[in-house]
Amino acid sequence: MWWKETVIYQIYPRSFQDSNGDGIGDLEGIRQRLPYLKDLGVGAIWLSPFYKSPMKDFGYDVADYCDVDPIFGTLEDFDRLLREAHALGLKVLIDLVPNHTSDQHPWFLESRSSRDNPKRDWYIWKDPGPDGGPPNNWQSFFGGPAWTLDEHTGQYYLHQFLPEQPDLNWRNPAVREAIYEAMRFWLRRGVDGFRVDVLWLLAEDLLFRDEPGNPDWRPGMWDRGRHLHLFTEDQPETYAYVREMRYVLDEFSQPGQERVMVGEIYLPYPQLVRYYQAGCHLPFNFHLIFRGLTDWRPENIARIVEEYESLLTPWDWPNWVLGNHDQPRLASRLGEAQARVAAMLLFTLRGTPTWYYGDELALPNGEIPPNRIQDPAALRQKGRLGEHGLPPGRDPERTPMPWDTSPYAGFSTVEPWLPLNPDWPVRNAAAQEKDPKSMLHLVKHLLRLRQDPDLLHGRYRTHQAANGLYAYFRGEGFLIALNFTDREKALDLPQEGRVVLSTHLDREEAVGNTLRLRPDEGVVVRLG
């Protein structure tokens, strides 16, 4: 099955390539860069939203599920991109945003027009609480209550994100069928599947109970963290909705041409793996980001991998992620030397990896001056430092892709929508293409090596996870050894072998019973 053997490459369309000189990336720009992606060695691209939208949350506020926003191009541009990607052997996944729409979507405009409108129950409306305030204490992901009063009708509507992103009522069969029809619209055009946004949030508690307080929350922490989200996340009905989505995908699937569902789900492993049984091909596993990158020690990483592997049935296929459009850049979290080690980890674990655009250049977080902040989450918390001491919000990981040394890094012919990284004249795709020891070349080598059957399908077994070293077997043929420290390390090998790849890209040699690793080095050893 193609989705078990591929590498998914996430593209944030605004930031990949501008083709028309407005400073914003677009679909035609992505089409022009398809040869780069093919040469890199990925097998699938995932496009973040390009739907028609007022852009209050950069496309995650959808005003039309079946059209392209003019900023990004036209349906014809999309069809051409899809056609040429398929001609190169690249699969195309697109974002599906089913939990909420824009407040400018025709459905919501109808719904809010009166209490007796036929689409009133397409969204979640409640009378004010006894004090005239919100119906309960539910919090938005972007801060403040998850309810906004509509003064015209005197009721509150639910929005787990911005007030401009009202939540759909998934208990209404007509809503579900409307979303499934939107899926069919894109499946008929030929898309290979969807990455489903906030899949674990589709249902809420029927009784709208207050959420209990979080005893670990302290002032200054994330506002939404003050409660335990027992009534707004991972509700039992969600699994039935996932199953229905899978049925829609299966309508269009054929052997070797499966249409695939990747689900955005931020949950502990025991809850996460239930989404496999519900029908999600790849419930995103973010544990390397949230538990791994925050505690980058071999013992911890091995625990994360082993716990996940132990919970999977023979029918479940693992997946791993190290970055996305909502998380600080890998190179800023670990530094470039360990980002190379992390890349070797990601591409040699069992399962399907997802890679974020630009991480193959070891792009760091961008520097966003206060007057250039675009992210609505950041605009609501100006002046605060976020996690890791970085500026709050998500702009730093969304800066434009630097392609070459031409003006504006080859991304555009004008000032881009977000500032380029300051080091773009030296850190760009063209420069790294010329440097045989660059991060870009490391990723290419890893993706080529990954095609070996042992690395695609071989069993995972931990060899050692202590003293700054993490080593594991893949199948019978490979041992991967990763040095998480800035000191030399030695590892006992069970048999002789040959180093076939080093993160330093300067070493291929036979090894005996002892493997020596330099600081910040990862190696792949072919055994026997």
Residue 310: inside a domain: no
pLDDT band for 142, please (50, 70, 90 cuts): confident
Q: What would the mean pLDDT of 491-510 be, rounded to a whole number? A: 97
> What number of CA atoms fall less than 13 Å from residue 261's CA on the CB side?
30
**In the prediction, which pLDDT does 379 show?**
80
pTM exceeds cut of 0.85: yes
Residue 508: inside a domain: yes
In angstroms, the CA 405 to CA 410 distance is 7
In angstroms, the CA 15 to CA 332 distance is 18
pLDDT at 510 over 80: yes
Q: Tell me the pLDDT tens digit for each residue of 166-201.
A: 999 999 999 999 999 999 999 999 999 999 999 999
Question: In terms of domains, do 187 and 46 share one?
Answer: yes
CATH of the domain at 65: 3.20.20.80
Q: What would the mean pLDDT of 13-35 be, rounded to a whole number? A: 99
Question: In terms of domains, do 153 and 197 share one?
Answer: no
- Whether 150 sits among the annotated catalytic residues: the reply is no
Residue 39: inside a domain: yes
Q: How many domains does the chain have?
A: 3
In angstroms, the CA 438 to CA 456 distance is 24
Residue 378: inside a domain: no
C-alpha distances out from residue 22 to 18, 205, 411, 415, 420, Å: 7, 44, 11, 8, 15
12-35 burial: b if 16+ Cβ within 10 Å, else e: bbbbbbbbeeebbbbbbbbbebbe
Question: In terms of domains, do 78 and 144 share one?
Answer: no
The domain boundary residue, chosen from 220, 255, 284: 284
In angstroms, the CA 163 to CA 473 distance is 49
- Whether 295 sits among the annotated catalytic residues: the reply is no
Question: In terms of domains, do 179 and 252 share one?
Answer: yes
**3-state class (DSSP) for residue 319:** strand
Q: Tell me the pLDDT tens digit for each residue of 384-396.
A: 555 444 446 899 9
The domain boundary residue, chosen from 284, 302, 322: 284
**In the prediction, which pLDDT does 383 show?**
52
The three-state (H, E, C) secondary structure of 148-206, written as one string: EEECCCCEEEECCCCCCCCEECCCCHHHHHHHHHHHHHHHHHCCCEEEECCHHHCCCCC
Question: In terms of domains, do 90 and 179 share one?
Answer: yes
At a CB cut-off of 8 Å and minimum separation 6, what does 255 contact? none
In angstroms, the CA 526 to CA 293 distance is 27
**In the prediction, which pLDDT does 382 show?**
56
Owning domain of residue 177: 1-99+173-204+237-284
At a CB cut-off of 8 Å and minimum separation 6, what does 169 contact? 121, 122, 123, 124, 175
Q: Are residues 322 and 342 in contact, defined by beta-carbon separation less than 8 angstroms?
A: yes
**In the prediction, which pLDDT does 381 show?**
65
Catalytic residue chosen out of the listed positions 18, 26, 197, 316: 197
pLDDT band for 223, please (50, 70, 90 cuts): confident
Question: In terms of domains, do 94 and 111 share one?
Answer: no
pLDDT at 143 over 50: yes
Q: Which helix (H) or strand (E) holds 245?
A: helix 237-251
In angstroms, the CA 103 to CA 98 distance is 14
Question: In terms of domains, do 69 and 191 share one?
Answer: yes
CATH of the domain at 120: 3.90.400.10
At a CB cut-off of 8 Å and minimum separation 6, what does 205 contact? 230, 231, 232, 235
**In the prediction, which pLDDT does 390 show?**
44
Adjacent-strand bridge partners of 527: 497
**3-state class (DSSP) for residue 58:** coil
In angstroms, the CA 107 to CA 100 distance is 11
pLDDT at 288 over 50: yes
In angstroms, the CA 49 to CA 182 distance is 14
**3-state class (DSSP) for residue 346:** helix
In angstroms, the CA 451 to CA 5 distance is 8
Start-to-end Cα distance in the chain: 29
In angstroms, the CA 224 to CA 198 distance is 16
Q: Are residues 482 and 292 in contact, defined by beta-carbon separation less than 8 angstroms?
A: no
Question: In terms of domains, do 59 and 186 share one?
Answer: yes
Question: In terms of domains, do 271 and 195 share one?
Answer: yes
In angstroms, the CA 463 to CA 217 distance is 38
Residue 165: inside a domain: no
pLDDT at 443 over 90: yes
Structure tokens at 277: 């049984």
Question: In terms of domains, do 152 and 187 share one?
Answer: no
DSSP 272-312: HTHHHHHT-SEE---HIIIIITTS--HHHHHHHHHHHHHH-
Q: How many CB atoms lie within 10 A of CB 382?
A: 11
**In whole angstroms, what separates CA 194 from the centre of its chain?**
12
Q: Are residues 34 and 428 in contact, defined by beta-carbon separation less than 8 angstroms?
A: no
Q: Tell me the pLDDT tens digit for each residue of 344-384.
A: 999 999 999 999 999 999 999 999 988 899 998 788 765 55
**In the prediction, which pLDDT does 437 show?**
98
Question: In terms of domains, do 41 and 114 share one?
Answer: no
pLDDT at 448 over 60: yes
Residue 376: inside a domain: no
Question: In terms of domains, do 12 and 51 share one?
Answer: yes
Any idea which of 139-143, 465-469, 480-484 has the lowest mean pLDDT? 139-143
Catalytic residue chosen out of the listed positions 181, 251, 423, 508: 251
**In the prediction, which pLDDT does 393 show?**
87
The domain boundary residue, chosen from 218, 252, 284: 284
DSSP 214-242: -TT--TTS-GGGGB--TTTSS-THHHHHH
Q: Tell me the pLDDT tens digit for each residue of 50-105.
A: 999 999 999 999 999 999 999 999 999 999 999 999 999 999 999 999 999 999 99
What does the DSSP 8-state code read for residue 466?
Answer: E
CATH of the domain at 510: 2.60.40.1180
480-494 burial: b if 16+ Cβ within 10 Å, else e: bbbbbbeeebebebe
Residue 390: inside a domain: no
Residue 387: inside a domain: no
